Structure 1
């Protein structure tokens, strides 16, 4: 390893340790994608590594596969937990040489929501390494009930809850009726709780559970980590295509910056035509 890179990674390891204790109070360390996953080689083990993504960024899925391969090669990967499969489904009973069709069946893969071409490589990398892949997302059959569970309204601190409501409104192009936001927030928090439980149950001493989910889900102050006991250790890493956002993001220990995506306005088709 080059001396300059070695020194950088040593400092980064210390920064990650401090950030994991400070939570969302500090801005994250920022790392170019070309240097990932070398920072994992700092000697600081964690129960769960949360890796946030932008769903339409292929480079983010490549980073996930690289992470699986790196951890598995060192015997450090306890399990891969995916937002892209529902909780209760697992590849644990499959052999390493299981076919992709067998893996998809075991996870009850929903192709319309999650293209296998994007997530198949990271999933199969874990299967080939003999590591179980676990669905973590809240089952669709439970979402209607989650919308009525008002105990979730008090789960987050006031500021974090408002940030979640704002993010949900922005994610729906500003077109979601305000009256629907509380129910949408309950589903989001219930999904985070489901993912958190799947990861917590997979924790093994001396190993790390890799949890892959959208960037909003992994945030330390309003996402999955809010559902864990104090004794569980976690690092939050998120891949971002927006360098401005990367420099100001909170709730993350480290940001991996990737190339910007081509400009695309996903809300254009939903806006009423201008006169």
Structure 2
């Protein structure tokens, strides 16, 4: 669940960026990143086989940056595949022609409009399809979620401190409304989803040609090193992975080495997600 954000002034953003750089954390961009900045930003990241973009789901600027990244990489012939958290593992557009309609693409990906508004993600998906780039679902199928909750072997997929943090994020993301005994099962779902996306990325890389990159779009917590998808990649592939976390408004301090770049965008209107969740659970 996304937390309300506040607006940073240009001065405070620059000060915070400098502080994080001196602390050895992810290098921050001094000021908002727009699509015009993408060529320079992607060059700054350097060569990679995998590019992970972590978004805030309700920040329009993040989906715009994703669309710009797809367009830029595809125009250069560098985009091997687009993997999405927003579609389930096993779905893909391989059998569709470049001129396929949006309805055909949505059907092929078994798109869940209620969970993921097509208006947000359709432009990136269609840009890939039009460029002849395969789009792959990466998320754990919903039908497998209950089994994942009971799969205690998933607990060992993360280092103990990362597992504890994952459970803490589940607790905070559900506004302290979850009973304590549900934290571990819910964290296993997140781990299973990250592992599924990592598997989809690795398979796409295996089919890519030299010099191409596989791009994953997912929520910000799913892409952080040590916690999300990178933790489930092989060591050689993880070493050739670049992680970008996009954040709307004031950035939270990332852990050391969790990302290579933090793309700041304007703050979104504040929303009390916890009030919404309490109301929904009350019903």
TM-score higher than 0.5: yes
Gaps of 5+ in 1: 1-24
**Secondary structure of 2:273 counterpart:** coil
Give matches, 1:110-189, under 5 Å. 110-189=112-191
Q: How far apart are residue 107 of structure 1 and its match?
A: 0.3
Query: After alignment, is 29-38 or 51-60 more displaced?
Result: 29-38
Aligned residue in 1 for 2:25: 27
CA distance in structure 1 between the partners assigned to 2:85 and 2:180 by the alignment: 26
Distance 1:108 1:269, change over 3 A: closer
Of 223, 226, 241 in structure 2, the residue corresponding to residue 218 of structure 1 is 223
Q: How far apart are residue 42 of structure 1 and its match?
A: 4.5
Aligned residues: 246
Gaps of 5+ in 2: 1-22
Contact 2:26/2:260 (8 A) holds in 1: yes
Give matches, 1:241-260, under 5 Å. 241-245=248-252, 248-250=253-255, 251-260=258-267
Contact 1:45/1:207 (8 A) holds in 2: no
Deviations 1:14-53 (A, max 9, x none): xxxxxxxxxxx94111123132342213483211100000
CA distance in structure 2 between the partners assigned to 1:176 and 1:48 by the alignment: 35
Q: How far apart are residue 252 of structure 1 and its match?
A: 1.2
Aligned residue in 1 for 2:86: 84
CA distance in structure 1 between the partners assigned to 2:134 and 2:204 by the alignment: 9
State TM-score, norm by structure 2: 0.84
CA distance in structure 2 between the partners assigned to 1:270 and 1:180 by the alignment: 16
Query: After alignment, is 61-70 or 151-160 more displaced?
Result: 151-160
CA distance in structure 2 between the partners assigned to 1:33 and 1:99 by the alignment: 31
Give yes or no for the alignment of 1:265 onto 2:272.
yes
**Secondary structure of 1:38 counterpart:** helix
CA distance in structure 2 between the partners assigned to 1:91 and 1:210 by the alignment: 15
Deviations 1:150-176 (A, max 9, x none): 011111112111111111111111111
